[in-house]
Amino acid sequence: MSDATARAIAPPRRRSGPLRWLRRNLFSSPLDTALTLAALYGLYLTLPPLVQWAFIDADWVGTSRADCTSGGACWVFIATRLEQFLYGFYPAAEQWRVNLGFGLLVAVLAALSWRGLRRRWLAAALLLGYPVVAYLLFYGGALGLAVVPTHQWGGLMLTLVLAIVGIVLALPLGVLLALGRRSELPLIRAACITYIEVWRGVPLITVLFMASVMLPLFFPEEVTLDKLLRAMIGIVMFQAAYMAEVVRGGLQAIPKGQYEAAEALGLGYWQRMGLIVLPQALRLVIPGIVNTFIALFKDTTLVLIIGLFDLLGIVQQAFADPDWLGYSVEGYVFAGLLYWVFCFGMSRWSQRLERRLGQGR
């Protein structure tokens, strides 16, 4: 083939650039053009006043509402209440224990993401050892640490405790329920189906109320369950039902040949599930699992109805202070920003995990 012929049949170069991207994504049709212009006009109307209120005219330094005189956002309210928003009513002298507990968790999670380390030992330490360490740090009563009762826990600390406990316990319980729903034993399958459908058919508010009021009635009078523990039990049992349906979708997506191949190798039921089926099923439903985690994190705000002041609850309680009446917008913006940071972080982590496991290639 001559050079002239090769140049004649060579594929055309793909043109790229900002103008081509704009034309293809924002102005590809009259409707897209109209929607783009409408969106730009909406941003023009809302974005400059928002920036003016939140940054330019905002008050950042001060100790009371008398320092908020510019007419913009009063971030002094957030600064003066920040400690309460983060720790609730946890004693100031003991707040280092909370920082140490969550710092250890972040360090272990960061180590788990490091490929050069033996992650099995770290995962075992995280699941078996960290809950004991966290309980001793947060509650105390051992190693010379003063006891801090759970009714003093609140703010972001309480939100993270509820969310982490719910996530760690709801996932394995949901996996067991999903396996039970697909079991060939009629009694186990009927029990799991009944559990899942009953718990998915009631709102979480009702579950929390029943856990707070009705659950103590099933225990002897001398047994007293902490209110926070009752809330955790209700959240875990509720979210496990939703997690079970997510995992069941992954199990149904596994080809039948995978089950048959595992049986041909002579593997038992739990070996087939633990080594062959579940790793593939869980990888397939990573987005659904993380979506359930995000929903659980946001649902922790409902514990306010049983007298637990999580992040949103402690922010709303601050609105009742006569010294700070009228600054609810700043409080809601602060709480919303924190919820968004954690939820967005979980979303990005799930995408990174999908890429590492090769899902979608």
Residue of 98 and 361 predicted with greater confidence: 98
Residue of 223 and 265 predicted with greater confidence: 265
Query: Cβ atoms within 10 A of the Cβ of 225, count?
Result: 14
> Could you give the 3-state DSSP secondary structure of residue 255?
coil
| pLDDT digit string, tens, across residues 185-199 | 999 999 999 999 999
User: Can you give the pLDDT at residue 201?
Assistant: 92
Alpha-carbon span 336 to 206, nearest angstrom: 24
Closest CA to 139 of 228, 74, 209: 228
Alpha-carbon span 179 to 183, nearest angstrom: 6
**Which CA distances in Å does 164 have to 25, 229, 245, 342?**
40, 13, 20, 12
User: Can you give the pLDDT at residue 127?
Assistant: 82
The domain defined by 153-358 folds into: MetI-like fold (1.10.3720)
Task: Confirm if 215 and 225 have CB atoms less than 8 A apart.
Answer: yes
User: Can you give the pLDDT at residue 121?
Assistant: 77
Mean of pLDDT over the chain: 89
What are the residues facing 77 on neighbouring strands? none
Above 90 in pLDDT, residue 114? no
User: Can you give the pLDDT at residue 6?
Assistant: 54
Above 60 in pLDDT, residue 242? yes
Per-residue pLDDT, averaged over 105-113, amounts to 85
| pLDDT digit string, tens, across residues 120-174 | 777 777 888 889 999 999 999 888 899 999 999 999 999 999 999 999 999 999 9
| pLDDT digit string, tens, across residues 12-36 | 555 567 888 888 888 888 898 999 9
Above 70 in pLDDT, residue 324? yes
User: Can you give the pLDDT at residue 142?
Assistant: 85
Query: CB-based burial of residue 36 (10 Å sphere; 0-12 exposed, 13-18 middle, 19+ buried)?
Result: middle
